[in-house]
Chains A and B, each alone.
Chain A
């Protein structure tokens, strides 16, 4: 699969949220306003790509040579948590503007399953190429941004619609919406063979 196809595949066909169902908690939790959704999405792009590169290196340079592949979950979590902390410290000093705009989302992502999920998918599907792994991470996180911004836009409109039965207000209607969006994204499944 060419790199470009892989990129498109990661955004639309295997969308991390709507097709792989990873990272659903921020998808529902941080999608009530499109501004915050945008902040979250950008922070996820930032962390996922960095984490994918570092976890790929740790897996292929440390765990594989030492025959400790089964420790990947533990070491990936360690790597991601340390990396996010490090990036936060460094950003605060080097680029306070970016640090402010990412704000609270950066530490929140430490335990985001989308970030870990991308690292694990890379390990299983792209073990040979760091380029493929990072392109997949970039595509997956852009797919996350796309999905969460779409969701926030829809939820902002739902918020003002009073035709929704009371029992469905808030999270229930968001879950129904997420399901419908997921079905809509299934339409992309045939575009890449």
Chain B
């Protein structure tokens, strides 16, 4: 039979236990009080929260902490862009440095239409695995995009896809964090300023005749574009032309002269219309 005393007794004991622990915690919260900088929480709120790691810190929490406590720059978050950088700068009370908005670009045109396949690869479908087999790639060109989409897997913004054996970048989704470029075993993805429209679509260091043997869309290192460029934005090193997007005026003179037709618009056709 349930009596009042029979019920009150355990309730009182448990209540006393709870009260004791509550008092202990209350005491601890005063005794072990640690001042937290509220700017960390404010900056964390502004950050996109994708935890892409493009800033070089482990996730957005790490970056917010880094800005306040270890003097990280305010413009490191590529995903947030300039508006975020100025927001962080105003919280920190410093003059913000302008961030150049970047995006990623694939330096390769070697789809099966242009480039011959060397071998059939039946291992793990991951570029990093395919890149360590003898020959460096299932493609005949060891510098080009392997096309297994490891970069697309690591992209948290869903900006990359595989189309016709090559990575396609959606510039509207790409924030320029550079995670894919760091993952690619062929380093065929390159960060370029968002304003850059003309780029060299090749990554091969081979001499012209060797490039021609494996790919009909590759840079042969002839140097015609270097002479054609009025802005001095193009350099030729190791048989490969490279356009500096910050100097380039997007005039298109190099693209018109390129005999290999590997200089051209940096964004795919349909993307340019929507952008």
Binding site for B on A (CB under 8 A): 58, 62, 66, 68, 71, 74-75, 78-79, 82, 85-86, 89-90, 92-94, 160-162
Contact = CB atoms under 8 A, between A and B. Distances in A.
B71 interface: no
Contacts of A75: 14, 17
Contacts of B235: none
6 nearest A-B pairs in the assembled complex, by CB-CB distance: A82-B21, A93-B32, A89-B28, A89-B32, A162-B125, A92-B34
Nearest to B30: A89
B13 A162 contact: no
Interface string B2-37: 000000011001100110011011001101111000
A92 B24 CA distance: 16
B113 interface: no
Interface residues of B, number: 20
A30 B177 CA distance: 26
Contacts of A82: 21-22, 24-25
Given A86-B25, A160-B129, A78 B124 contact: no
Contacts of A78: 14, 17-18, 21
B13 A79 contact: no
Given A78-B21, A79-B21, A160-B129, A92 B10 contact: no
B126 interface: yes
26 contacts: A58-B17, A62-B17, A68-B9, A68-B13, A75-B14, A75-B17, A78-B17, A79-B17, A79-B21, A82-B21, A82-B22, A82-B24, A82-B25, A85-B25, A85-B28, A86-B21, A86-B25, A86-B28, A89-B28, A93-B31, A93-B32, A93-B34, A94-B32, A160-B124, A162-B124, A162-B126
